[in-house]
Amino acid sequence: MPGPTPRPVAYLDHGATSWPKPQQVVDAVVRALTDLGGNPGRGAYAMALDASRAIFEARRTCAELLGVPDSRDLLFQPGCTAGCNLMLKGVLKPGDRVVVGSMEHNAVARPLEHLARLGVEVVVVNADSTGLVDPDDVERQVRAAPARAVVCQHASNLTGTVQLIGDLADIAHEHGALMLVDGAQGAGHLDIDISALGADAYATSGHKGMLGPQGVGLLYLAPDLDAQTQIEGGTGGGGSESPDMPPERPDRYEAGTANTPGVVGLGAAAAFVAAEGPEQRRREAELTRRLHEGILEIEGFHVLGPPPGVPRVPIVSAVHDRVDADRIAFALDRTYGIAARAGLHCAPWAHRTIGTIDCGAIRFGVGWSNSEEHVELALRALQEIVSS
Amino acid sequence: MSGRQRRTFVVFGFTTTHAALAAEQLLKDLGVPVTPIPSPKSLGGALCGIALRLDPVDAARAEILLERVELAVAARGEIEDV
Ligand SMILES: Cc1ncc(COP(=O)(O)O)c(C=O)c1O
C-alpha cells in the first residue's frame, strides 16, 4: 500500500479552506463525536440535552464574535453557499430588481443567474481594475429604478479587495433596498460587527478564516427580514403536527438533524478567533504584504487587486507574462511542497472584471498557520519556476 | 406504596430548544433553580421537546425575568413530581 501523501511544506491556500485547524477545534469535534451523541433538539435525556447545550453555546460564541445582538438571528447552514442561496432565493421574487457587484463568487452569481431566469432583474455594477465596487455606481443604479436589494461580497476571493459594505448598506437603505452580503472571505480575517455594518443578511463559511470544520457555515438574517425557507423538515418538539415550518428562529431555517461536530467545532474556532484575532490579523497582514511586494519584484509577475498599502484580506493572486498559472501551481506543489491554487477560483465574474478570464491566476491565501519561512519559500520558488 | 407526598411543580414550555436553553441559563444565572424535563403532553401546543420545571414559589418572578429579555414562555402548566 502506498503511504499517506506528504503534508505540504507550506500551506498557502487558506482562501479555499484553512489548514491545519487549531487543536481546540479538533478536540471539540472529537468531543462532539465521543460525548455529545444524542440528537440535539430531539430529546430531553442527558446526552441529547448536552448536545443541544453545546449548539446553543456555539451559536452564542459565534454571535458575539460577529456582532449579532440576538444569537437566534444567526443560523447554522451547511456552508456559505447554502447561506447565500437562502438569503437570495428566500428574499428575491420574480419582478424584483437587484443590484450586484461584478466580483461575486459563483455562490452568489449562480443563484442570481437562476433567479434571473425566473424573472428577477439582475443589474451588475462593474468593479474597477482593483476589484473595488464604487458605491457611487451602485447609487446611480438604485436611484434609476426601485431595487429590492443590493448584493455584494465583503471581500474578493480573487483579488482580496475589501468592499465598502458600510457605504453600500447606507445607500441601499436610503433607497429602501436590503443589503445582502457574502462574507465568506471576511469572517475571521476582518474585524466584523454585522450590526454596525448595516447588513440585512450576511452569509459566511465556517471553514475559511473562521478556522472551523468544513460542512458548516453561518447566515445572519436581520430580525425583521422574513426570508422564505428553502428547506422544510423536522425541527423536533411538539409542533411536529403542523404542516408548516415554525415561525421561530433558529428552528425555522434549520430543519433536519444538526451537524453537531461541525457546529461545536465552529464554536471552538470562534472562541479561538475571538482570543487570537487581533494578533493573528496583524501577522496575516504583514505576511500578505511581504508576499505581495516580493511577487512584484519578480520579473514578469503582475499582482491582481489593490496595490500594497491598501487594505486587503490575506489573498494575493498573480499572473505571469510567460508562464501559465496551472504550470506554476503544479511546480509549486511537486517541487516545493507548496499548496496554492490556480484557475478561476469559482469566480468567473471576478476574472472577467479583472481581465483574467482566459488565463486564470495563481492564488495564495495566507492564514493563521503561516510563517515568514513559508512566504520566503514561496517567493524563492516562484523566482526559480519562472526563470527555468 | 410509599407514603411520600407528591410535590407540585410549575412547568414552562417554549417553542424552540434555543429559547428553552436560553431561559434555563438566564434563570440559573439569576439564582432561580430550574430543571429541564421532556415537555409534558399536557402543555399542548407547538412546543419544543424541552420544558423547564420550577418550584411554584419561583414561577411568577421567573416569568417576569424572562419577559424582560423577550424570552416568552409559550405555555405554562403544573405537574406532579413522579
Ligand atoms: C467569496 C466566496 N463566496 C462564497 C464561497 C463559498 O463558500 P463555501 O464553499 O464554504 O460554501 C467562497 C468559497 O469558496 C468564496 O470565496
The string of pLDDT tens digits covering residues A10-37 is 999 999 999 999 999 999 999 999 999 8
Contacts 24+ apart (CB under 8 A), B34-40: B34/B62, B36/A44, B36/A49, B37/A44, B37/B11, B38/A43, B38/A44, B38/A45, B39/A44, B39/A237, B39/A238, B39/B13, B40/B11, B40/B77, B40/B79
What is the predicted pLDDT for the residue at B71?
A: 87
Q: Which residue of A has its CA nearest to B40?
A: A238
Assess whether A295 and A357 both reside in one domain: yes
Domain count, chain B: 1
Which residues, 6+ apart, have CB-to-CB distance to A121 below 8 Å?
Answer: A96, A97, A98
Cell of A134: 464604487
ipTM exceeding 0.85, yes/no: no
Determine the structural domain holding residue A360 and report its residue range.
10-20+277-387
Smallest CA-to-CA distance from A126 within A152, A103, A110, A145 is with: A103
Cα distance between residue A102 and residue A161, in whole Å: 12
Q: Determine if ligand 1 sits within 6 Å of the CB of residue A270.
A: no
Mean model confidence pLDDT for chain A: 96
Q: Pick from B22, B38, B45: which is nearest to A44 by CB?
A: B38
Assess whether A238 and A369 both reside in one domain: no
Q: Would residue B66 count as lying in a domain?
A: yes
Q: What is the CATH number of the domain that holds A297?
A: 3.90.1150.10
Q: How many CB atoms lie within 10 A of CB A46?
A: 10
Last residue of a domain, one of A216, A251, A272: A272
Mean model confidence pLDDT for chain B: 89
Q: What is the CATH number of the domain that holds B42?
A: 3.30.70.1530
Q: Would residue B2 count as lying in a domain?
A: no
Q: Would residue A16 count as lying in a domain?
A: yes
Q: What is the pLDDT of residues A48-77, one digit of tens each?
A: 899 999 999 999 999 999 999 999 999 999
CB contact under 8 A, A44 and B39: yes
Determine the structural domain holding residue B53 and report its residue range.
14-81
Last residue of a domain, one of A250, A272, A294: A272
Q: Would residue A5 count as lying in a domain?
A: no
Using a CB-CB cut-off of 8 Å, the residues of chain A touching B26 are none
Q: Would residue B50 count as lying in a domain?
A: yes
Assess whether A159 and A284 both reside in one domain: no
Q: Would residue A174 count as lying in a domain?
A: yes
Assess whether A220 and A350 both reside in one domain: no
Assess whether A335 and A267 both reside in one domain: no
What is the predicted pLDDT for the residue at A1?
A: 64
Q: Select the more confidently predicted residue: B82 or A140.
A: A140
Global pTM?
0.94
Calculate what percentage of chain A has a pLDDT beyond 90.
90
Q: Whose CA is nearest to atom 14 of ligand 1?
A: A16
Q: Pick from B18, B43, B49: which is nearest to A43 by CB?
A: B49
Assess whether A214 and A299 both reside in one domain: no
Q: Would residue B7 count as lying in a domain?
A: no
Q: Would residue A59 count as lying in a domain?
A: yes
Q: Select the more confidently predicted residue: B25 or B3.
A: B25
Q: What is the pLDDT of residues A184-199, one digit of tens each?
A: 999 999 999 999 999 9
Three-class SS of residue A290? helix
| Complete edge-to-edge strand list for the sheet that includes strand B75-80 | B34-38, B50-54, B8-13, B75-80
Q: Which atom of ligand 1 lies nearest, measured to the CA of A345?
A: 14
Last residue of a domain, one of A272, A298, A316: A272
Residues listed for chain B: 82
Is the pLDDT at B81 greater than 90? The verdict is: no
Q: What is the pLDDT of residues A306-349, one digit of tens each?
A: 999 999 999 999 999 999 999 999 999 999 999 999 989 999 99
Q: Which residue of A has its CA nearest to B36?
A: A44
Domain count, chain A: 2
Q: What is the pLDDT of residues B47-80, one digit of tens each?
A: 888 999 999 999 999 999 999 988 889 999 999 8
